[in-house]
Structure 1
C-alpha cells in the first residue's frame, strides 16, 4: 500500500461505508491510562487482529502516549472538577485503523525537535510519529458549547483473521 496522508486516512475513516467504530470516555487521571490500553487491546482482538500481534502492541503504545498527553496537557478544568478523555477507534477491514484521543484543550500538540538524551519527558509525539503510519490533530466539538481537540493516529492494517463465533470473545 502506498503511504497515505493523514487527510486521506481521515476522509476514509470518518466518511466511508463499512467502517466499524467504538468510543469510550475515561476520567482524566493517569491511573486510567492502563484501563484505556486494556479497552483498545480487547477491541482489536475482537476485530480479529490477533492477541499477541506486533500491530496491536504498536497501537497500544501509541494510545498510551496520546492518553498520557491528554491527561498531562489537556486538562482545562480545576483539579476538583471531573474531566474526561475520549478514546475512539475507527476500523476499516484490510485498510486502516484510526485511533483518536480527545481532550478539552484547544492547544495543538507540539512535537519536540530533539529531546535531550537524559530527558524523561518530551518523546511522546516522536514515538507516535515513529510507530504510526501518520497522525494529525483536529478540532473536536465538546458538549455544552466548549471545544477541544482530537489527536488521531493512523495504522495501515495487516490482513485480519476471522474470529469464530464459537470461541469465547473478550468482554
Structure 2
C-alpha cells in the first residue's frame, strides 16, 4: 500500500502542512489571468531548486496542476471588485521521499466542485478533473488568516518516489 492510500486526506494534509522535515515556500500574486504564468514560473523554479528536472513526469504534473488551481482561483475565487487589488497565494510543501503538495488560496469560501463529465464541447470546467487526473488526490479547506476564516485553500498531492541525489563530480586526474 502506498503512502497516499495508507493516509486519509486529513492525515496527508497534516504531514505536509505541519510535519517535521517539510520544506515550504510560498508567494502571493495579484489575482488576474495574466499572472497565471507567473505562478507557473514560481513553481517551476522551486522544483528546479529541489532538483526535480524539467521534463520529469512529476515536475510536469505539479506545474500543470498548479496552473489549473491558480486559474480556478483567479476565475472563481475573486471576492472584490475588479478595480481593487486582490491576491492569490501559491505554496509548495515537500517532504523528501514522501510527497509534494501544492496549495492555492483565494478569498472565496465557495467549495470547489469537479464536474463529473464536462461536455465535450465545453470550453471550461475541466480544471479540477485535470488536477484529479494529474495528482494522487486533492482537497479543499477553509483558509484562516489573522482575522479568522478568509477564504479557502485547495491542495493537490503528489507522491514522490525515492529521489537519489546527484553523484558528486569525481576529480579529474591529469
Structure 1 contact 48–161 (Cα < 8 Å) conserved: no
Which residue of 82, 87, 99 maps to 1:84? 87
Shift of 1:15: 2.0
> How many residues are aligned here?
166
* Cα distance in 1 for residues equivalent to 2:165 and 2:35: 30
Shift of 1:159: 2.6
Which residue of 107, 111, 130 maps to 2:110? 107
> What do residues 57-76 of structure 1 show as CA deviations (whole Å, max 9, x unaligned)?
10011001100000000000
1:19 paired with 2:22, answer yes
- What does residue 64 of structure 1 align with? 67
Structure 1: segments with no counterpart, 5+ residues: 167-171
Mean Cα displacement is larger for which, 14-23 or 152-161?
Answer: 152-161
> What do residues 60-117 of structure 1 show as CA deviations (whole Å, max 9, x unaligned)?
1100110000000000001110000000011000000011000000000011121111
Structure 2: segments with no counterpart, 5+ residues: 170-174
**Poorly superposed stretches of 4+, deviation over 4 Å:** 143-146, 163-166
Residues 9-158 of structure 1 correspond to what in structure 2 (within 5 A)? Answer: 9-144=12-147, 147-158=150-161
Compute the RMSD of aligned alpha carbons. Answer: 1.8
Structure 1 contact 5–134 (Cα < 8 Å) conserved: no
> What do residues 110-153 of structure 1 show as CA deviations (whole Å, max 9, x unaligned)?
11121111111011111111110011001001355561000000
* Cα distance in 1 for residues equivalent to 2:54 and 2:118: 33
Q: Secondary structure at the match of 1:138?
A: strand
- The TM-score with structure 1 as length reference comes to 0.90
- The TM-score with structure 2 as length reference comes to 0.89
Flag the structure with more relative contact order, 1 or 2, with Cα contacts below 8 A and sequence separation at least 6.
1
